[in-house]
Amino acid sequence: MYKNILPGLLFAVLWATGAIAAKFGIRSADALMLASLRFLITGIVFAPYFLLHKKHRFIPYRNEWKSIVIYGMLNTTLTLGSFFAAQKYASAGISMLFTAVTPLLIALLSSIFLKRKLSRFEIVGMLVAFSGLLLAALSALPTATITVTGIILLAVYMTAYALSSMYISVTRVSLHNMVFNVWQVFIGGLILLPFCWLFKASHVRHFDVNLLLSLTWLIIMLSFVANLLWLYLIKKDAVSAASWLYLVPVLGYLYGYWLLGEAVTLYAVLGGIMVIVGLVISKRKTQDVLEPDM
């Protein structure tokens, strides 16, 4: 893992900025509309490259559309859509805690639906991490850093995240991963559009520099650079790549404090430590972790 310190560290540094970029973006647009714009523009920007670059087939076969739509709905519409919507009701640091616990939820649901046996380390790790999550989230309610709505949205985020990971783990398509990703992000953005109007979150209040910078960062630095780094790490060693995800909640708290002036309470610190400890314990049993686009 040590030879991949720089790309791994850079991945964690970038991935943890997802909640921060969303926080800045919702100053100019409703959260769901911001998310939908990001996904649609990502598809529009990168589609011409794959159309012109003949190395990888771009047009899916008829039997591949089902996988694209299902994964796009789970991974993009529900997972990232609910995450963006939650930024109105939760601090960036708390949001990143939910992100950190998601791999453990994936392991739990996999044991139930895919009959994957959990080790004692994974079981203990999940209990410690979820306890830390509850401590940080519930203690934050009085200071309004997270609300009940925020908890519900982030719970939807975690559940859809886990389901999408299980789905893609048993689904095989012949499309190249990067092409499949462009399609599922775009389709997920299309599915998310009606929810923008349904939840009255379809407004772009200001077409300003803030909106432009937020979308640029989300599209280029996360959807492109961070995902390329993730692909590089995962091809080298999936287990080592997953270990960099442990830095994400810690960096999320630091970014929230540094860039947004969010308070860091003692309970939040203790909860964060418990989440990290739980993740480290669960890591005693090696496992592959799938991560959706941010």
pLDDT given at position 266: 81
Measured distance CA(279)–CA(32) in Å, rounded: 30
131 found inside a domain: yes
Residue 70 lies in a domain: yes
* Rounded-to-integer distance, Cα 144 and Cα 253, Å: 16
Whether 279 and 104 have beta carbons less than 8 Å apart is answered as yes
pLDDT tens for the chain, residues 1 to 294: 445 578 888 988 998 898 788 888 989 999 899 999 999 999 999 899 888 877 888 999 999 999 999 999 998 999 889 988 887 788 766 776 777 677 777 777 777 877 777 778 878 887 887 788 777 766 666 665 788 888 899 999 989 988 887 887 778 778 888 888 899 999 999 999 998 988 888 899 988 999 999 999 999 898 778 877 876 776 665 545 666 776 777 777 778 788 877 777 787 788 878 878 887 787 675 444 444 555
In a domain, 287, yes or no: no
Range of the domain at 121: 2-282
The CA distance from 151 to 229, in Å, is 30
What the block records as the tokens of 138 is 């519930």
Distance (Å, whole) CA 38 – CA 84? 11
Tokens linked to 286: 């090696």
The answer to whether residue 290 sits within a structural domain is no
Among 242, 250, 238, which residue's Cα sits nearest to residue 276? 250
Contact 35, 225 (CB under 8 A): no
Give the separation between CA 75 and CA 235, rounded to whole angstroms.
Answer: 21
Which residues lie closer than 8 Å to 197 by C-beta, 6 or more apart? none
Contact call for residues 85 and 31 (beta carbons, < 8 A):
yes
- What number of other Cβ atoms are within 10 A of residue 213's Cβ? 14
Q: Which pLDDT score, from 0 to 100, does residue 127 have?
A: 82
Flag whether 291 is in a domain. no
pTM above 0.85, yes or no: no
Spell out the residues 6+ positions from residue 282 whose beta carbon is closer than 8 angstroms to its own: 103, 104, 107, 121, 122, 124, 125, 126, 129
**pLDDT at position 213:** 94
pLDDT, residue 283, reads: 64
Residue 202 inside a domain? The answer is yes
DSSP string, 215-226: HHIIIIIIIIII
Q: Number of structural domains, the chain?
A: 1
The pLDDT value given to residue 226: 83
Concatenated DSSP letters of 90-125: B-HHHHHHHHHHHHHHHHHHHHHHS-PPPPHHHHHH
Is position 38 within any domain?
yes
